[in-house]
Structure 1
Amino acid sequence: MAFLQVVKLAFALLALTTPSWAVGVAPGQIKNFVTFGDSYTDSSYYPTADGGYAWPTWAAMYGDLNLYGFARSGATCSNLLTYRPFPPIMGWQLPAYLNETRNGTLELNPDETIYTIWIGTNDLGVNALLTGSDAPDTSIVQVRQCTVDVLKILYESGARNFIMQNILPLDLTILYSNYSYPNRYWDLERNTTGWNVYMKELVRAGNEITSLMLEALVPALPGAHIASFDSYGLFTDMYNNPQNYFNGTAPYNVTGCINSCVHTMNSTAAPTCTVANGTDADSFLWYDELHPSQQSDRIVAREMTAVMMGEDNQWTTWLS
């Protein structure tokens, strides 16, 4: 009897320390996905900011999923924190989604639908945290709290399945690199090394803050399935190991871009632009000085599709 009691105690302790079998989504469960974010995710036009199709368009094809895209180029999480004249998640994208669900235009089964949130590039960048926003008291903590609040509002509206994509390593983009040049996004004087260091710290701090906030939020959202997708890790690996990801006819290129335009400071002269054409483009990590390439977006789509299909994925951690 004593032996049986020990076994029962051992199994009871194991149950307390072992993750629930209900963590994540089941294979074949998800039929629809709804996206919120900026130009990295905006699938509402073509060609998109990567020169082709945004990753959600590829994911919808790869997984035979129904896509409902609310992400819009230029967006921040909230224009009250980092103002830009584009549709933010809080002020436009989320209200547009909620309006469609409330008036019956959009009817989605919560069990069969997953919501993706990928925002932060514009919050952290030029004319925002990096150079100073219109709300000078805004901090990285507030803009990342805004991102988590998006998930909370969606949950309160009935959503139950989520993927939070963290911020990719913006310091590796041409715009924020230490070897940057005057370009279409910023053609004024700047300290490229200073920008590179500051952006690196903003991204790392923002991702860690988001991770801690999500972990703290999970117990307050019963029945939710929340995945943390490591965009930072994926793009860092693509940067360090391009041979594993790119298959173009040009040499691998992670420090240049497909569509490069070098501007001249304090001048009205036309920029000097170069474009990689055809299959050469599939050798590049970046499309232009800020945006991922079409090949990079196909890779994001491949990995995100695996998550939505309930498959194991090395870049994803299910928190609930």
Structure 2
Amino acid sequence: MAFLQGVKLAFTILALATPSWAIGVAPGQIQNFVTFGDSYTDSSYYPSADGGYSWPTWAAMYGDLDLYGFARSGATCSNLLTYRPFPPIMGWQFPAYLNETRNGTLELNSNETIYTIWIGTNDLGVNALLTGSDAPTTSIVQVRQCAVDVLNMLYESGARNFIMQNILPLDLTILYSNYSYPNTYWNLERNTTGWNVHMTELVRAGNEITSLKLDALLPTLPDAHIASFDSYGLFTDMYNNPQNYFNGTAPYNVTGCIHSCVYSIDSTAAPACTITNGTDADSFMWYDELHPSQQSARILARELTAVMMGEDNQWTTWLS
């Protein structure tokens, strides 16, 4: 009997152990979040690339969390792989974070802080993998390895809680759709069907590569809690079932955008821009030809806040 009571006590202790013994984060555990990424996540200016507040700003409000945003518009994972004249994660964002933590500007309790990584849009897109980058030997394998390396470097710096967001279905954006038109991001001729097919494959391959590389990394990260957030699945569901997400006063619209600018090829004429205002805007999935709308940002924030609050979420798989 004494032996059985001892076994029961041991299991009780295990059940009440610190979060590092469990999968995921506990409700109320996370007080801060730190973001790395591109314009989809950049909270450093207003209005952001989606015409309003970026999703981290909404999440900070929804969850009463402290936000520390290092994501910057235009960023890639590494400019050594896919160069763009913007602050990449590897060359600017991560060093800026390290500098602030080492000089005492930023002091965060690792148990109460979660780190989000959402990168890839610019690595895969125009002037990068889709059309050819300055480093022609760069492949989708390398740019997704880079994203996983970011998580590993954060872990080595002391971080323990992470959300890795996969790439949303870029082939559903106006820029990379098969019905695209000359716009702010690309106003030259192109094969829209070819772009759409190529981007579809890049995104799907990139997400699968990321998943496999995360699985391989997990055994080397004791005490880490890593959530894989399915941005691809969420945005695909928004596209296919807009009635479940959008509540504006205009008809649901997942193939157009709030701020559309149509250019004329081989012309110096100003673009013809159309802007949707007021509550009609909440019916749109996209703000412009590349960026999600404010309503999409709020939806994403709602889902990610649930993850950070330790709640069940259909788009999230805790890997550790």
TM-score band w.r.t. shorter chain: over 0.9
Counterpart Cα distance in 2 of 1:32 and 1:25: 13
1:77 alignment partner in structure 2:
77
TM-fit CA distance, 1:92: 0.1
Counterpart Cα distance in 1 of 2:301 and 2:218: 26
Give, as a single letter, the amino acid of the residue that structure 2 aligns with 1:194. Answer: G
Alignment partner of 1:99 is 2:110: no
Alignment partner of 1:40 is 2:40: yes
Counterpart Cα distance in 1 of 2:21 and 2:316: 17
1:163 alignment partner in structure 2:
163
Give, as a single letter, the amino acid of the residue that structure 2 aligns with 1:123. Answer: D
Counterpart Cα distance in 1 of 2:158 and 2:63: 23
Counterpart Cα distance in 2 of 1:21 and 1:71: 30
2:294 alignment partner in structure 1:
294
TM-fit CA distance, 1:56: 0.1
2:210 alignment partner in structure 1:
210
Give, as a single letter, the amino acid of the residue that structure 2 aligns with 1:130. Answer: L
Alignment partner of 1:247 is 2:247: yes
Alignment partner of 1:283 is 2:283: yes
Counterpart Cα distance in 2 of 1:129 and 1:27: 40
- Alignment identity in percent? 89
The residue correspondences of 1:131-150 to structure 2 (distance < 5 A) are 131-150=131-150
What are the Cα deviations for residues 66-100 of structure 1, in whole angstroms up to 9, with x where unaligned?
00000000000000000000000000000000000
The residue correspondences of 1:112-127 to structure 2 (distance < 5 A) are 112-127=112-127
2:15 alignment partner in structure 1:
none
What are the Cα deviations for residues 280-314 of structure 1, in whole angstroms up to 9, with x where unaligned?
00000000000000000000000000000000000
Give, as a single letter, the amino acid of the residue that structure 1 aligns with 2:28. Answer: G
Gapped runs of 5+ residues in structure 1? 5-10, 12-19
Gapped runs of 5+ residues in structure 2? 5-10, 12-19
Counterpart Cα distance in 2 of 1:102 and 1:318: 29
1:179 alignment partner in structure 2:
179
What are the Cα deviations for residues 247-295 of structure 1, in whole angstroms up to 9, with x where unaligned?
0000000000000000000110010010110000000000000000000
Alignment partner of 1:64 is 2:68: no
Give, as a single letter, the amino acid of the residue that structure 1 aligns with 2:165. Answer: Q
**TM-score normalised over the length of structure 1:** 0.94
TM-fit CA distance, 1:21: 6.4
TM-fit CA distance, 1:42: 0.1
Give, as a single letter, the amino acid of the residue that structure 1 aligns with 2:144. Answer: R
Counterpart Cα distance in 2 of 1:244 and 1:276: 21
2:308 alignment partner in structure 1:
308
Give, as a single letter, the amino acid of the residue that structure 2 aligns with 1:173. Answer: T
TM-fit CA distance, 1:163: 0.1
Counterpart Cα distance in 1 of 2:179 and 2:104: 51
TM-fit CA distance, 1:29: 0.1
2:128 alignment partner in structure 1:
128
Give, as a single letter, the amino acid of the residue that structure 1 aligns with 2:36. Answer: F
The number of residue pairs the alignment matches comes to 303
**TM-score normalised over the length of structure 2:** 0.94
Where has structure 1 moved over 3 Å in runs of 4 or more? none
Contact 2:40 2:73 in 1 (8 A): yes
SS in 1 for 2:163: strand
Counterpart Cα distance in 1 of 2:171 and 2:152: 29
Counterpart Cα distance in 1 of 2:266 and 2:97: 43
TM-fit CA distance, 1:24: 0.2
Counterpart Cα distance in 2 of 1:21 and 1:154: 20
Counterpart Cα distance in 2 of 1:220 and 1:265: 52
2:190 alignment partner in structure 1:
190
Give, as a single letter, the amino acid of the residue that structure 2 aligns with 1:50. Answer: D
TM-fit CA distance, 1:113: 0.1
Counterpart Cα distance in 2 of 1:108 and 1:202: 36
Counterpart Cα distance in 1 of 2:266 and 2:33: 45
Contact 2:21 2:223 in 1 (8 A): no
2:199 alignment partner in structure 1:
199
